[in-house]
Structure 1
C-alpha cells in the first residue's frame, strides 16, 4: 500500500521532528475553536458501557486499484459477544486517520484533512450516528496522534499549527472551548486515561534535549551513538491544571496503560528495536513506588493497548506468527489470541473502552 506507507512515514517524521518536554509549571492555556458546539453535545453524558469493547480505525482500498481511493472505517469489537461491526466510514484524507467510537452516546470522533495544499491540517470531527450529521470541532491543528472522549470532554494529543511541540489538549463539548497542556518544548509521546478517577497520564520529553543529542553523537562510525533523551511520566487532572512527575527514564516510553491503582509504561533503549525486549515500569499510584521488568513475550506495537476492566487481559496491536492485528493477551497464561488480523487493510489505531 504505497499511499499508506507515505502517510505512515509522514506521521513518523512528525513524531520524530516535532519533539518537546514541559517546564515546572503545567502551562495550560484556554483557547477557543472557531466552529460551533457539536450537534449532540448537550446529550453527551458520562456513561460507562456494560462490557469492554475496542474501537478501531481501519483503512483499506475502496477498490482493487492500489492507486485508487482509500476508505477509513470505524470498527467496534465487543469482547463479550466476540462480534465486530462497522459503525462509520469516511474518506482517508488525514495524514494518518484516527477515530473513536463512543458507543453509549452513539458518537464517532475522527480526523480529516482541512484546507488547501499550502495551508492545511488534520482536524477533529464528531459524527452523531442518530442523525448522521458531522460537526468540525477544531480548526487550529496540524497533526493528531490521540483522540479520547470522557464524559463531556474530548482529550487529544496534537501538533498545533505554528508550534513545534506536540501537546495534550482538551475540548469542552458543551462550550467548544479548548485547553492546552504543556509548553513549546514538549513532545507528548503517549497518554492513557483513568476515566474512573479522572486522571490523565502522559509520557513526554524535551525537544531541546533531543536536538542536543542529535548534534553530539560522538563515537565509532556505523554505530548508533544517539543518547536517548529523558522521558518523564506525568499525571494531570481533567482540568489540565495539575502536573505531577511520577518518574523519569532514559528510555523511549512509547506506550502507557493503566489498571486499578497502577500505570504501566513500555519503553525501549533505542527507537524501533523490535527484536529487543521492552522495559516495563509498573508504577503504583498509591504507594508512589515503581518496579521494573522486561516484557518477556511478543512485542506489543507502539499504540493504544490497555487492560480489560478486570485486569485479566490486555488488548493490543501485535505481530504474532507473522500476522499483524488486534490480539487479546491473557495475563495469567501469557497466551495471545487473534481477534482481527486483516490481510487487505491496515489498523491505524485502537482504544480499549472498559465496561463496568
Structure 2
C-alpha cells in the first residue's frame, strides 16, 4: 500500500507517503519505506524477495516537470531514477526484469501502457496517441497483461455532442475495450468491448474480471462485472451485489478465495479482505489520520 499523512499535526506542513506491506499469513503491517509526497498521484510497490521499492516523485522545475519512477534498494540504500520523460503515472508493477507502468508521456495526450527493461533501462510503449489506458492487471504465470482502454478522439467527440438539456449529465460513455498483450508489448488482441466505464481489472486462473459502470462516479449503483474466460473465450455478466470496491488495484488472493481491495464498509475506508464464498468483508487497515492512495496485491511469495 501507499499511505499518505501529514508529517506533523500542522495541516500546512509536509505530507509524507509510506509504503506499507500487509502479510496475509502473519496478518501484520509494517512500514517498508517513506518518501516525500511530491507526485500528482503517489504510487509504490514493494518487491519483497529482492528488497526493492518502486515509487513515484516529481522531478523538474515549475515550468518543466513530471512524475518519474524511482527504485530504492533497501539493502544497499541505492536510489535509481528509472524514467525521465513521463508527466503523470497511474500504475507501476514490476515483474521479473521488467517494470510495467501506465502513464502520460510528456508531449502526448495519450495514456499509455509501457515497460522499462531493468537491465538495459530501455523503454517500450504500447498503443498510440489516441489511446487512454484506464486500468491493467498482470497474469504473471502466463506473462500476459490485460488493459482497459478507450479512444481519446471518441471521448472528445462525445463530450462535444451531448444530447439533452444544458446542465444535465448526458455524456455517452466511450467504448471501452479490454486488450491482451504479452510482456514484450507486441500483441494487441481485443477480448471484448462495452460502453461502460471499465474502471478496474482483476485476474484469477484462466479468467479476467472487469468492473464497469454506466456513468462515472455512480457510487450507489451496482457495478457490472464481466467475467472473461481466456480459455473458452466466453463472457458471463453479473452485478456486484455488495459493498462497492473502490479504484485502487484490487485483486484476488493466490487461491482465488479472497479479494483484497479498498472499500468503504460501515463508513470506514481502508483495506479489506472480501471472502468470495461468504460475501463477508474483514477490515485489515482502516486509518483515521492518513489516506491509503492505492494497493497492489502481490501473489505467490
With structure 2 as the length reference, what TM-score do the two structures score? 0.99
Answering whether residue 7 of structure 2 is matched by residue 62 of structure 1, we say yes
Q: CA deviation at 1:122?
A: 0.2
CA distance in structure 1 between the aligned counterparts of 2:165 and 2:67, rounded to whole angstroms: 41
Higher strand share: 2
4+ residue runs over 3 A deviation: none
**Tell me, what secondary structure is at the counterpart of 1:211?**
helix
CA distance in structure 2 between the aligned counterparts of 1:281 and 1:202, rounded to whole angstroms: 14
- Out of 98, 118, 141, the residue aligned to residue 43 of structure 2 is 98
The answer for unaligned runs of 5 or more in structure 2 is none
State the partner residue of 1:3: none
- Out of 161, 176, 179, the residue aligned to residue 231 of structure 1 is 176
State the partner residue of 2:235: 290
Q: CA deviation at 1:62?
A: 0.2
**Tell me, what secondary structure is at the counterpart of 2:145?**
strand
Question: Does the 8 Å contact 1:203/1:232 carry over to 2?
Answer: yes
Higher relative contact order (CA 8 A, sep 6+): 1
With structure 1 as the length reference, what TM-score do the two structures score? 0.84
**What is the RMSD of the two structures over their aligned residues, measured on CA atoms?**
0.7
| Mapping 1:147-226, distance limit 5 Å | 147-226=92-171
Higher helix share: 1
CA distance in structure 2 between the aligned counterparts of 1:228 and 1:142, rounded to whole angstroms: 25
Q: CA deviation at 1:222?
A: 4.0
Q: CA deviation at 1:303?
A: 1.9
**Tell me, what secondary structure is at the counterpart of 1:351?**
coil
Q: CA deviation at 1:213?
A: 0.4
- Out of 31, 39, 58, the residue aligned to residue 86 of structure 1 is 31
CA distance in structure 1 between the aligned counterparts of 2:248 and 2:190, rounded to whole angstroms: 22
Answering whether residue 258 of structure 2 is matched by residue 313 of structure 1, we say yes
The answer for unaligned runs of 5 or more in structure 1 is 1-55
Q: CA deviation at 1:221?
A: 3.6
Answering whether residue 215 of structure 2 is matched by residue 270 of structure 1, we say yes
State the partner residue of 1:132: 77
How many pairs does the alignment contain? 301
